């Protein structure tokens, strides 16, 4: 388990460590022209008295925020960034399985504990495309940018990323090397401390 603390987010951005290592960095499937699905299993450790970000997919912003009145799922297409208000489905101290699934030119789905809570129709829309997408856990942006940080204290239990060919990376946050979580799939797609 990885305990994220306020001001200390971690990032899934294997291509930032070295552009040629691993050979096919997993973050590169997090684009509008690729199928992907990722699971984040976590436990929230604090009550959200203000906006807090569970994850943020950047630079084409997509993420899930929680706040006292509920949740907001934001997603970015090539045309716009849209915000969807959702009821509060994440409780302090309860383990949650959050799944995001993208099918190019068809849909973007978000599940909580395997229950579909929102489906975005992507007919005639393209989910954000970038050459080096990445996911920040526990913040909405990089600390150095000093805006939209929305830090949150949470425990990360597992992260799995799948593509069209199956599992691309799998983290259980049990083995670390030099402030990096080891990818137990063997594909060298590290998650590292910012």
- Give strand ranges (E) for the chain: 2-4, 10-12, 36-44, 52-58, 62-67, 70-76, 81-86, 95-103, 107-112, 115-121, 134-137, 154-163, 166-171, 180-181, 191-193
- Per residue in 165-193, pLDDT tens? 999 999 999 999 989 999 999 888 999 99
* pLDDT for the residue 81: 94
* pLDDT tier for residue 162 given thresholds of 50, 70 and 90: very high
* pLDDT for the residue 20: 55
CA–centroid distance for 86 within its chain: 17
Q: What is the pTM of this model?
A: 0.93
Backbone angles phi, psi at 143, to 5 degrees: -55, -35
Element counts in the chain: helices (H) and strands (E): 1, 15
CB 31 within 8 A of CB 128: yes
CB 109 within 8 A of CB 50: no
- Per residue in 83-135, pLDDT tens? 999 998 999 999 999 999 999 999 999 999 999 999 999 998 999 888 889 99
* pLDDT for the residue 19: 56
* pLDDT for the residue 117: 95
* pLDDT for the residue 148: 78
Mean pLDDT of the chain: 92
For residue 69, pLDDT beyond 80: yes
């Amino acid at each position: 388990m990885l305990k994220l603390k306020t001001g200390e987010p971690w990032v899934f951005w294997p291509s930032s460590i070295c552009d040629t290592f691993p050979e096919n960095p997993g973050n590169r499937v997090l684009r509008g022209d690729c199928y992907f699905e990722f699971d984040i299993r976590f436990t929230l450790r604090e009550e959200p008295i203000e906006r807090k970000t569970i994850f943020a997919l950047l630079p084409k912003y997509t993420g899930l925020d929680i706040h006292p009145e509920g949740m907001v799922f934001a997603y970015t297409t090539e045309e716009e960034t849209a915000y969807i208000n959702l009821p509060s489905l994440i409780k302090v101290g309860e383990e949650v399985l959050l799944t995001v699934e993208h099918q190019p030119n068809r849909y973007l789905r978000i599940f909580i504990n395997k229950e579909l809570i929102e489906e975005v129709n992507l007919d005639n829309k393209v989910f954000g495309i970038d050459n080096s997408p990445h996911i920040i856990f526990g913040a909405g942006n990089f600390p150095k940018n000093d805006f939209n940080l929305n830090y949150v204290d949470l425990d990360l239990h597992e992260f799995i990323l799948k593509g069209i060919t199956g599992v691309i990376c799998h983290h259980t946050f049990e083995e670390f090397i030099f402030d990096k979580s080891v990818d137990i799939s063997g594909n060298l797609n590290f998650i590292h401390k910012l």
